[in-house]
Each structure stands twice: as structure tokens, then as C-alpha cells.
Amino acid sequence: MAVPTELKRGLRLPVIASPMFIVSNPDLVIAQCTSGVIGSFPSLNARPQARLGEWLDRIQAALADHDARHPDRPSAPFAVNLIVHRSNDRLAADLEACVAHKVPLVITSLGAQVEVNQAIHSYGGLVFHDVINQRFAHKAIEKGADGLILVAAGAGGHAGVQSPFALVQETRAWFDGPIALSGAIATGRSILAARAMGADFAYVGSAFIATEEANAPEAYKQMIVEGSAEDILYSNLFTGVHGNYLRPSIAAAGFDPDNLPTSDPSKMDFASSAGDAKAWRDIWGAGQGIGGVDDIVPAAELVARLAREYEAARADLLR
């Protein structure tokens, strides 16, 4: 299994902190990278579009400053998520900003485009594409992605329905490039399990919502701390694409979580509204792994916990 050397620099744990709509911001990304995991954010979080360049400047300056002060433990690379879907009218401008800033890793989702991959490759950047099944995985690699993010059942936000075992096993049968496994990973032991299954990285999202840096209301963070897998509901009502959301937030927005209608997928709009409740702002996304999250901490502390648990799990297996 091949992890490109550019991505190994500064890595304390084989983890990509996944991009989360609204939640991921420069403070969170800087904290993730300086604690030794790959940090990321969706370009759409920088609003208006002109702010994306400012965010990238800020992240790059903070990481360079950290590296100058701590040459013994340099920061990990960061990634930007581009939504490659017809509803995203910012794609060209956001791609241009990524190229201008030579973003080390670009995570593409909801579509795969040869031109986007070529633009990132033009300066030596890498592209990982996120997929939920083999059909999309093959398409992504055919179109030039360097790595795959396998989004399994139980992942926060837009998620697949396949078991992580099945997804990794079938992908590894034909793909020996870098793989990140996404879905319900919130402990060091689970990170090690992802590696054992054949993934190079664990892709961790929801656990980072319950951090001080995350751009989420306190009630959302608290719901992550208090919730467990039973509190997660899979529905396509809110954006037209199936995703996992916190049941209590659905109830608080005035819906009956046990009797939700389904939506028309042809009307898909990434940030669409359902009734008065704006998807993502009022209907809170989270994956099934939140039972592993017990408190709201600085992101560096979460990474330190994951690292301790990862080492303990490794030692445990060797006994």
C-alpha cells in the first residue's frame, strides 16, 4: 500500500481529518495539522468566494510558522475539499485558488472530472476522490484521481450503505494506491482496524465536531458527546442525497424522525432547504461512531487521545 511521501511528512497518526460543511474552519485545520493529522475543509465554507484565498494564506502562514518553531515535529499537510457537482457554481474559482496556493491534497466529491485532476497535478498536488461503491471508485481512478476515500455505512454527512470490510476488500482487489476509509471512526483502536483492513488512512469527521475549534453551536457539540449510534438517522430528505444526521436535531427542527418522507434525488442541491430547516445548519450531520466521543476538547487533545489509543491497541495486539 502506497502512501505518497508528500503526505507522510509530519504525520503522527494515519488520519485524515475529514472536511465538514460549515464545521471545518482555518482554526480547526491548523490545530489538526500541527497536531500531526492531515486537516481539511470544504472550499465552500469560505464565504464569499474571495475569502478562500485569505483562508489558504492564513493556514499556510500558520503551518510555516509552526514548522519554523518546531522543526522536530513539523505540521502535517492540509487538504481542500471541492464539490465537483453541477450545483456548485464556484468550482472554477475555487480550483484556481487551490492551484495558485499549490494545495498539497485536494479531496473531490460528488463527481469526478479529468480537468480538475489535471489542474491539481500541474503543480504536483494530489487528488483523492470520495466514493461509496466500486462503480464510482473505478470511474474516479479512470479519470485520474490518485487515491480513494471509501465512504462506508455509518459515516457522517453523505454516506454509503456498504460495510467497510466489503468496500476495502473489493477496492484492494484492483487498486494498490492510497485508500482512506471513512465512517464511524472515532477511536485509536478503530484507526488501527482501518489499517488492518487494508486502508492507509482513517478518515475521521464527527469526532472533530466536538472540539473547541469546530464551527458548530454548543448544543450540536453536546449532542455529539451525548449521542450514540442509535441517535443517527439515514435519510435523503434534507439534500436529496442519503446522509446520516442526529435524530434529536431532526426532531428539534419540527420533523418526526420516525416518519420522514423521502425526497426526489433529481432535485439534489448540496445546501438545499427542507421546509424551514436549512440542511446542515439546523439538521446536524453526524456518523455512527459518536459513542466514542465523551467530551468537548481542543482538537490537539482529541488527536493526542487517538494517538494514545492507537499505540495501546497496537501493543494489545502484539501481546
Ligand X SMILES: Cc1cc2nc3c(=O)[nH]c(=O)nc-3n(C[C@H](O)[C@H](O)[C@H](O)COP(=O)(O)O)c2cc1C
Does residue 187 touch ligand X according to CB under 6 A?
no
For cell 485524515, name the residue: 16
Q: Which region among 20-28, 93-101, 164-172, 193-201 touches ligand X (by CB under 6 A)? A: 20-28
CA quadruple 96, 202, 166, 159: dihedral sign: negative
292 contributes a contact to ligand X by CB under 6 A: no
Sign of the torsion formed by the C-alpha atoms of 89, 90, 91 and 96? positive
**Nearer of residues 74 and 130 to ligand X, judged by Cβ:** 130
* Contacts (Cβ under 8 Å, ≥6 apart) of 24: 39, 40, 41, 42, 45, 208, 214, 215
Single out the segment in contact with ligand X by CB under 6 A; choices: 118-126, 165-173, 282-290, 305-313.
282-290
Give the interface size with ligand X as a residue count (CB under 6 A): 25
Plot region of 10 (φ>0 → left; ψ -120 to 50 → alpha; else → beta): left
Query: Cβ(131)–Cβ(218) under 8 Å?
Result: no
Q: Candidates 59-67, 89-97, 178-186, 233-241: pick the segment binding ligand X (CB under 6 A).
A: 178-186
Letters for 21-60 (x = contact with ligand X by CB under 6 A, - = none) are x-x------------------x------------------
Assign 107 to helix, strand or coil: strand
Question: Per CB under 6 A, does 111 bind ligand X?
Answer: no
Question: Please, are residues 137 and 171 in contact by the beta-carbon 8 Å criterion?
Answer: yes
How many Cβ atoms sit within 10 Å of the Cβ of residue 294?
13
Is the Cβ of residue 74 or residue 285 nearer to ligand X in the bound state?
A: 285
Could you tell me which residues come within 8 angstroms of residue 149 by beta carbon, excluding any fewer than 6 positions away?
A: 16, 107, 128, 129, 130, 131, 179, 180, 181, 182, 203
Q: Which is nearer to ligand X, 175 or 220 (CB)?
A: 220
Residue 182, interface with ligand X (CB under 6 A)? yes
Q: Does 202 bind ligand X (CB under 6 A)?
A: no
Q: Which of 183, 188, 240, 292 binds ligand X (CB under 6 A)?
A: 183
Question: Contact positions toward ligand X, by CB under 6 A?
Answer: 18-21, 23, 42, 81, 109, 130, 151, 155-157, 182-185, 203-206, 285-287, 289
